Chains A and B, each alone.
Chain A
Amino acid sequence: MSFLDNSGDIILDAVLTDIGRKRMAAGNFTISKFALGDDEINYQLYNKAHPSGSAYYDLEIMQTPVLEPVTMNNAINYGLMDITNLNLLYMPAIKTNPQADASSPSGWTSPMGTTRACYVTGGVYVVAANDVTYRQLTSSRVNSPMGVEQYRYRLRGDNPSAEETNFILFETGIDNNKITATQGNRTAYLDATNMMDNSFTISANELFIASVYGLNSSTTIANDMSDSTAESMIAPSFGYLTDAGSGVSSTTKANFNDFSTTARPNGILGTSKYSVITGPRGTVGGLQFMVAAGLGTATGTTPDQRYYDYGKVAQNLYGDDHTYDYIDTVVFVKGDASSQTLQLPIRILRQNT
């Protein structure tokens, strides 16, 4: 995959994808629509302070070299949007909660109280491939910074809806502190602009993840504004996750399956010490993953071939006299209304010895 020659006229270089050739061979190659993409573009290069004026704002963007088309079916990961409202200034963000290793874990408790929002550690969310691995990570206080809140740093991939398991919590909304987090702004900036993500499409690699679990329909989340000094996040129905089924083949990513999950209204208003969205909040979602069959074979047995092909085997990760096998993958969370995307780095971990 090289760059296209951009020294002369604009040319359009087209190729059939793998599935396009397959459909052609089968005699059902029928194109009925198109979509537009801009994956190479870095909009942060748009320089509104360019000294030469507005004609030069996008100079660097226009000089972006474009790569040749490839035959994989992930040519457009994000895409241009057919929004006809020309007056949008804000678009919602999707952020995990908590987002990263807490700088002071001892002073930072989970926003979910007794429920279990998972922390990221070492840049990844750790999904234990079997129960032995899950228990080992918990009991030996490995895999967590400073040895505290150790049970917050792992997901249970063999039984995602088990009562004690954690899940990844994410929020949507206008993440800008210049827009006050009021119900009115929520309506104005999200509902009225059709940017409220009430459902999400989760794309996960089918080689490693068999199914996805989301929040069940009775889950609620809101803060109690009656006492601003004692803010709490109220989620009476947490602890129960719903299996999103086996998914369907992704149209944009090879070997990925798409799962559909619904989100819950985010009822946190005003200043919040728990919410990661600084402006009007939109919705809340939770995720857990069932690892693919074969990845969770019993500790002490030969690892699945996928650990050799896609990951690492028998690694001393935590200095706990045990070795581990792991595979790193990425799960994509896309809001169905806003088309905004969140990437979740996932490590599927299996205790080897």
Chain B
Amino acid sequence: MPLNYEPLDINTDVTTTRTLLHEVIPLSGTIVSGTYSDNNIKNYTHGMFQSVYDYPYLSSSANHIFDITMGFTAAATVSGRGLTLSASCAASGVQNSKKLNTYTQFAQTLLGYKNSAGNEVEIFESDTDISDDTNQMTSCYFITLSRLIMKEQIKKGSFSMTIGTGSFASGLATTGSSGTSLNKAMAVVLHDVSASAGTSGEFKSGLPGGDYGILYVSGASPVTASGVIFYQAGVVVLSSSFMANPYNITGAAFTGAPYWKVGATNMNVQSTFITASMSGACDALRRRIRNISFNNTTEINSKIYFCRVPHNKYNYSANPTYTKDSKIQVKDLASDPPLSYITTVGLYNSSNELLAVAKVSEPLKKDPTNELTLRVRLDY
């Protein structure tokens, strides 16, 4: 059915914008472990990672929030042993090949390859220069955040994670509570605050996995880097080394209970990487997570249409109620100004197909004394 259309000039009536929206995403440790008695933790028969949901995962209301997995490179060493981590795992552990494969998968996806032949996988490093082979992280936990919560990317400088470094059973002391720190290893805060967007040098760009920033231990002296975070990929890589010993920012000796526990067995993190199953090792980390917080980023590309309504047009309506006995309801005399009330803007293509509709929240009065510019924004 024919309508009266007003043309849009592509040069003057249409513009495009890009907007970044950020939401604060707080993930409480009680969700990750505790509240749902692990009914929100999904383990798989392949045992290579576990998924964390925000509600028991059998419920249709559950949302996937992140996965945890772990792995090591073939060159990872074990302190005090002559064997590598992999060799130790092959000899006395489980899932050695899957732990190697997992590390390699993340490394090749996020870092790429390093030698001239292009087939040797890079090693994660806790600095912004992965080519110098220093500060390598050869055994790591990987936390992969769901796109549902991270959207397009994590906002640089917004990530923080509070994690216990000691026994889950003994409880976690908070940073700064030095009075209890001797028998309760510290819960430390990892953050990337120095990697705020625009601060070049504090984050690395150009890798296959996109930008990454360094995760530092908050308040530690000397400055301690314990992992990296890939902002676009939404992957947090935690070095196992910062949990190799109970962390105590006061420097005092730890005197508490066994600080790392998998199931009923006390072991340190290296033993965990060797002997524990991947899901068991993931449990051990997960139960030490006190909270995770970051800002996600939603990138909205918008096209704005400026619908300019001239003063001398669109003052009459084809609405059936506009006339009574053929007489225009809003006029008494021919010289009275006509009126109409706009509630809807329809956007059409050249074939008169209605492509988009916009509604105003209350009627807009249109008469010959005013011109309107209705700004219709379509987000993509």
Contacts and interface: CB of A to CB of B under 8 A. Distances in A.
B318 to A, nearest CB: 4
Nearest to A280: B326
B360 A11 contact: yes
Contacts of A81: 4, 314, 316-318
Contact of B358 (A43, A69, A82, A90): A69
B326 A78 contact: no
Contacts of A48: 330, 332
Contact of B357 (A17, A42, A57, A61): A17
Nearest to B307: A34
Contacts of B322: 43, 91
Given A17-B356, A91-B323, A175-B326, A35 B348 contact: yes
Interface in B337-367: 337-366
Contacts of A201: 1-2
Contact of B333 (A35, A78, A89, A258): A89
A89 B336 CA distance: 8
Contact of A5 (B315, B352, B361): B361
A44 interface: yes
A338 to B, nearest CB: 8
Contacts of A332: 1
Contacts of B351: 251
B176 interface: no
Nearest to A92: B326
A336 B1 CA distance: 9
B7 interface: yes
B331 interface: yes
B214 interface: no
B318 A80 contact: yes
A15 B346 CA distance: 10
| Interface range on chain B (Cβ under 8 Å from partner) | 35 or more
| Interface range on chain A (Cβ under 8 Å from partner) | 35 or more
A68 B359 CA distance: 6
A96 to B, nearest CB: 14
Contacts of A258: 1
Contact of B354 (A12, A17, A61, A78): A17
Interface string A51-66: 0000001100111101
A310 B328 CA distance: 37
A143 interface: no
Interface stretch (B100-108, B229-237, B241-249, B368-376): B368-376
A61 B341 contact: yes
B150 to A, nearest CB: 25
Contacts of B359: 4, 12-14, 66-69
B361 A4 contact: yes
B79 to A, nearest CB: 57
Contacts of B318: 78-81, 338-341
Q: Lowest 4 CB-CB distances: which A-B pairs, in order? A: A37-B344, A20-B355, A339-B318, A14-B358
11 contacts: A14-B356, A34-B8, A36-B6, A36-B366, A37-B342, A38-B344, A43-B319, A44-B324, A76-B354, A92-B326, A203-B1
Interface of B: 1-8, 10, 14, 305, 307, 309, 312-366, 368, 374-378
